[in-house]
Amino acid sequence: MEKTINVTSPLLPNIEEFGEMLKEIWDSKWITNNGSFHKRLEEALCEYLKVPYISLFTNGTLPLITSLQAMRISGEVITTPYSFVATTHSLWWNGIKPVFVDILEETGNINPEKIEQAITPKTTAIMPVHVYGKPCDTKAIQEIADKYGLKVIYDAAHAFGVEVNGESLLNAGDLSTLSFHATKVYNTIEGGALVMHDEKTKKRIDYLKNFGFAGETEIVAPGINSKMDEIRSAYGLLNLKQVDEAIEKRHQAAIKYRQVLKDVKGIRFWDDIQGVKHNYSYFPIFVDANEYGKTRDELYFDMQKQGVYGRRYFYPLISTFTTYKGLDSAKPSNLPVATKMANEVICLPMYSDLSEQDVERVLDCIVK
C-alpha cells in the first residue's frame, strides 16, 4: 500500500533553530505573560500582514468569542452557515442568536444582497467568513453595516496574508480574527489573533484576554485567559520566516491541480482573482454528480480507498447541527446555495510539502 496523503500537513520550523530559542526561554525563565517572544511575534506579524495592531491568542476560537465581548455585541448577528463550527459557536457562547443567510456560488462567501433582508431591530453585527481565504465583498458589507449602524467582525481564519490590490484583507470591518492552528497556512501549533485598527481597541482586547487585568490590582472587565505563551511565540517567529515559501509551494500545487482538472467534466473549481494575493490555504472542488458520473461521496470514499484523504469542508452545514437546526434561518429552503455547495465540495490535499507525485496521485483518483 502506498503512503496515505492527508488533506493537510503542518508547516514545522527548523528544529535546531527552535532548540536555540527554547534555550533562550529556559535561561530567561519567562515562559508566558507578554514576554519578549510574544512582543516580537506581534511586531513581526503586524509588519508581515500589513496591519496596524494585532493581539495574539491561544487559539482561533477565543478571538471570535472575545471580539464579540470587546464590541459589546448582543441580540442577533448575521452570519454564514458555510464555515467551520467555531464561527457560530462563538455567538452561542455569548448568548447571541445567529441568523444564517445564504452564500454566493462564485466565492462561497455570504451574499450581501441577502444580509439586508435578515436585519431586525435586534441585529447588532455581521460576522462574515473569508472562506478558503477568498475575500468577501467587504465594500458591500460595509455599506450595509454603515446604513444600519452594525459592527462587522470578520472570521479571517483562512485569510492569513491575503491582500486585495496591495492592501491587507485583514483591515476590513471593525475586527478580524485569525487562527494559527496546525492545519492552517501559518501555524503556532495552536494559536490565533485579533487584528484591530487602533491602540485603544488593542488595549481593551489585551485586558480581555488576560482576565480583565488593567494593573496589578485593577480588573476592568470580566475577561478570559487566552494569552499565547513564549514557546509558541518563538515557534511562530520561525514559521513566519518560511511562510512565503510555503505559500508559493501551495501555489504550484494549485496550478497543477487546475491544469488537469480543467478538462474533467463535472468538476468545478475556482481560479485566482485578479488583484488578489491568495494564500492557497485550501483547494476545494465541487462535484456535479450528473456530469461527472459519480456523486461527491462516491468520489470522496473512492479516494480514501486509494489512500488519498480529502475533507468535505464545509459539510454538513453549521445550520444543520443540533444546536442550530431549530432556528428559522437554518431551514434548507433559506440556504439553497450553501446546501448545494456543502453537498458537492471536497477539499483536495493541500500543503507546502505536497510533492508533484502526490498531486498526480490525487489527480489520478479524480481523472480516471
Ligand X SMILES: *Cc1c(COP(=O)(O)O)cnc(C)c1O
Q: Which residues bind ligand X (CB under 6 A)?
A: 59-61, 83-84, 86-87, 129, 155, 157-158, 179, 181, 192
Q: How far is the CB of 267 from ligand X (least distance, A)?
A: 23
Q: How far is the CB of 59 from ligand X (least distance, A)?
A: 4
Q: How far is the CB of 187 from ligand X (least distance, A)?
A: 9
Of the two residues 112 and 128, which places its CB atom closer to ligand X in the complex? 128
> Which residue number places its CB atom closest to ligand X?
60
CA 232 to chain centre: 19
Of the two residues 181 and 296, which places its CB atom closer to ligand X in the complex? 181
d(CA 157, CA 179): 5
Of the two residues 78 and 366, which places its CB atom closer to ligand X in the complex? 78
212: phi > 0 → left, psi -120 to 50 → alpha, else beta; which? left
Of the two residues 84 and 286, which places its CB atom closer to ligand X in the complex? 84
CB 52 within 8 A of CB 244: no
Of the two residues 185 and 365, which places its CB atom closer to ligand X in the complex? 185
3 state SS for the chain: CCCCECCCCCCCCCHHHHHHHHHHHHHHCCCCCCCHHHHHHHHHHHHHHCCCEEEEECCCCHHHHHHHHHCCCCCEEEECCCCCCHHHHHHHCCCCEEEECCECCCCCCECHHHHHHHCCCCEEEEECECHHHCCCCHHHHHHHHHHHCCEEEEECCCCCCCEECCEEHHHCCCEEEEECCCCCCCCCCCCEEEEECCHHHHHHHHHHCECCECCCCCECCCCCECCCCHHHHHHHHHHHHHHHHHHHHHHHHHHHHHHHHCCCCCEECCCCCCCEECCCCCEEEEECHHHHCCCHHHHHHHHHHCCECCECCCCCCHHHCCCCCCCHHHCHHHCHHHHHHHHHEEEECCCCCCCHHHHHHHHHHHHC
Q: How far is the CB of 89 from ligand X (least distance, A)?
A: 9
Of the two residues 79 and 168, which places its CB atom closer to ligand X in the complex? 79
Q: How far is the CB of 209 from ligand X (least distance, A)?
A: 14
d(CA 213, CA 204): 10
Of the two residues 61 and 334, which places its CB atom closer to ligand X in the complex? 61
Q: How far is the CB of 296 from ligand X (least distance, A)?
A: 20
Q: How far is the CB of 98 from ligand X (least distance, A)?
A: 14
Angle, CA of 321, 327 and 332, to the nearest 5°: 70
Of the two residues 82 and 292, which places its CB atom closer to ligand X in the complex? 82
Q: How far is the CB of 155 from ligand X (least distance, A)?
A: 5
Of the two residues 90 and 171, which places its CB atom closer to ligand X in the complex? 90
Q: How far is the CB of 129 from ligand X (least distance, A)?
A: 5
Of the two residues 158 and 296, which places its CB atom closer to ligand X in the complex? 158
Q: How far is the CB of 131 from ligand X (least distance, A)?
A: 7
d(CA 282, CA 184): 9
